[in-house]
Amino acid sequence: MRYVIIGGSIASVGAIEGIRKFDREGSITVISNEPDPYYSRPLISYYLAGKIDRAGLYYRKPEFYQRNRVRVITGKACNLAPDGVVTLESGEKIPFDRLLLAVGGTPLLYDRLAAGRDNVVGFYTLEDVERIRLQVQPGIRVAVIGAGLVGLKAAEALYYLKARPTVVDLAPHPLSGILDPVGGEMVERHLRSRGVEFKLGMEVSSLEGTPRVKQVVFQDGSHLDCDMVIIAAGVRPNLALAAGAGIDIEQGILVDEHQETSIPSVYAAGDVAQAGELLTGDKKVVPILPLAWEQGRTAGMNMAGHEAEYRGSLAVNSVNLLDMSIMTAGDSRAEGLSAVGDNPPFYRKITLHDGIISGLIAINQVDNMGIITAMIRKRVRIHGQESLLLQPRLNGVDLRGCLQTAIN
Ligand SMILES: Cc1cc2nc3c(=O)[nH]c(=O)nc-3n(C[C@H](O)[C@H](O)[C@H](O)COP(=O)(O)OP(=O)(O)OC[C@H]3O[C@@H](n4cnc5c(N)ncnc54)[C@H](O)[C@@H]3O)c2cc1C
């Protein structure tokens, strides 16, 4: 069996592990247009801040590919013929029996804003971080476009480097994709108290200055002076290869519960895949790392002939920003029951759907939140135990009692 995987990141790693669980003999080829072997994107901000060294970025040992007998080709796949051939930019043709598209996403706004500018950088790859390291110095003013998790991790790293970050976003509060206004404003207050500036509810219209940008200009005509710009405004799935091959796509590549696309023997996983969501069953792109690995592994096992079903995506985020712990799960922005405290600050919210716990926000005091996440996953009905789940300090024994009422 000839397996080909396009993309060399975490979904690809999951697939190699899934394939090798059931097939020790087949040939595996990974085509990756990043020169580095697999490294963890969530760690690049810690590398930028100097908290870990380059070796600390790699979740798998250097001999991972050798041990799994994987041939790695550095290059870009530019065409996929569904009858079994991938063509690289170099012209090389790679035949396959089973193919996985693990091609992730491309940063939004980057192509439009960065072209021809020396001091505009993305925040997605190790190469981006190496470019930032060459330019960043104490005191420089950095506009970070995007107040999502990636933009805030960039701002945190800049804070540690003694630069002066200002985070810019169209949304009225940070982390608007996972937090409600109460939680978002708490995060904003905390980061402002540490010197991170914000310009929220502001739409970027252009960057002024070539080859070096000097200003971010907003739709309302105002501007922000800066010495450098980091673009961290989210990603859009890389759909060109799938579209060119006639594979069904919507926001991402549509896959079934085996991660197989509309073309048999062609699979997709990770940030590019639109897979079933755990709570609603709807198909959605949920771009987070553990799900990319799980989807890749599910795809790999199926590619190797072992029937495995993806259990469905549940968005779980856990992040620490300048000593503030933040955790969210499921339908976290819906209306819910909440508790807020000031001294020390904490926020806890649970959301319910027909009495079944469906979402969570916890800011500071996040102990035992894994158990609540497990309840969401198992769709536990909360019988008058709401106040227990809102207490700042949770008792794990009580919590485990709640799990006994699991349905499904
Ligand atoms: C700074 C940062 C922090 C993050 N923090 C978190 C976090 O705390 N928690 C969390 O869950 N998630 C986090 N994420 C998201 C997480 O990293 C992604 O969900 C995950 O990397 C997706 O993995 P993937 O394998 O699907 O795709 P990607 O990691 O995007 O990798 C896709 C790979 O495919 C390659 N490729 C694309 N097209 C081609 C082609 N045509 N030919 C060859 N190769 C190609 C790309 O170059 C890339 O190397 C973070 C992301 C970033 C950038």
Strands ordered across the beta sheet of 141-145: 120-122, 228-231, 141-145, 164-169, 197-200
pLDDT of residue 368: 81
Q: What is the mean pLDDT of residues 47-51?
A: 97
Alpha-carbon 274 to chain mean position: 14
Using DSSP's 3-state secondary structure scheme, residue 342 falls into: strand
> Which domains, and CATH codes, for the chain?
2-104+238-303 (3.50.50.60), 107-231 (3.50.50.60), 323-403 (3.30.390.30)
Ligand 1, atom 35, lies closest to the CA of: 7
32 CA to middle of ligand 1, Å? 12
Closest residue to atom 45 of ligand 1, CA basis: 7
Task: Measure 8 CA to ligand 1 centroid, in angstroms.
Answer: 9
Measured in Å, residue 49 CA sits from the centre of ligand 1 at 20
User: pLDDT band at residue 285, thresholds of 50, 70 and 90?
Assistant: very high
Q: Which of 12, 30, 41 to mutate to test the pocket of ligand 1 (most atoms within 8 A of CB)?
A: 41
- Summarised one tens digit per residue, pLDDT across range 6-28 is 999 999 999 999 999 999 999 99
Of 369, 361, 374, 368, the closest CA to residue 403 belongs to: 374
pTM for this one? Answer: 0.94
Q: Which of 34, 108, 289, 320 to mutate to test the pocket of ligand 1 (most atoms within 8 A of CB)?
A: 289
Rounded to the nearest angstrom, the distance between the alpha carbon of 63 and the centre of ligand 1 is 21
Separation CA 313–CA 318 (nearest Å): 16
How far is residue 168's CA from residue 143's CA, in Å, rounded to a whole number?
7
DSSP 234-293: -EEE--HHHHHTT--BSSSEE--TTSB-SSTTEEE-GGGEEEEBTTT--EE----HHHHH
Q: How far is the CA of 392 from the centre of ligand 1 (A)?
A: 34
For residues 119 and 141, give the distance between their C-alpha atoms in angstroms, rounded to a whole number.
11
Confidence of residue 269 (pLDDT cuts 50, 70, 90): very high
Ligand 1 pocket by Cβ (under 6 Å): 6-12, 31-34, 41-42, 44-45, 76-77, 102-105, 123-124, 149-150, 153, 238, 241, 270-271, 287-290, 292, 319
361 C-alpha to center of ligand 1: Å?
25
* Whole-number average pLDDT of the chain: 93
Please, which pLDDT band fits residue 407 given cuts at 50, 70 and 90?
very low
Query: Per-residue pLDDT tens for 53-73?
Result: 999 999 888 899 999 999 999
- The residue nearest atom 6 of ligand 1, judged by CA position, is 42
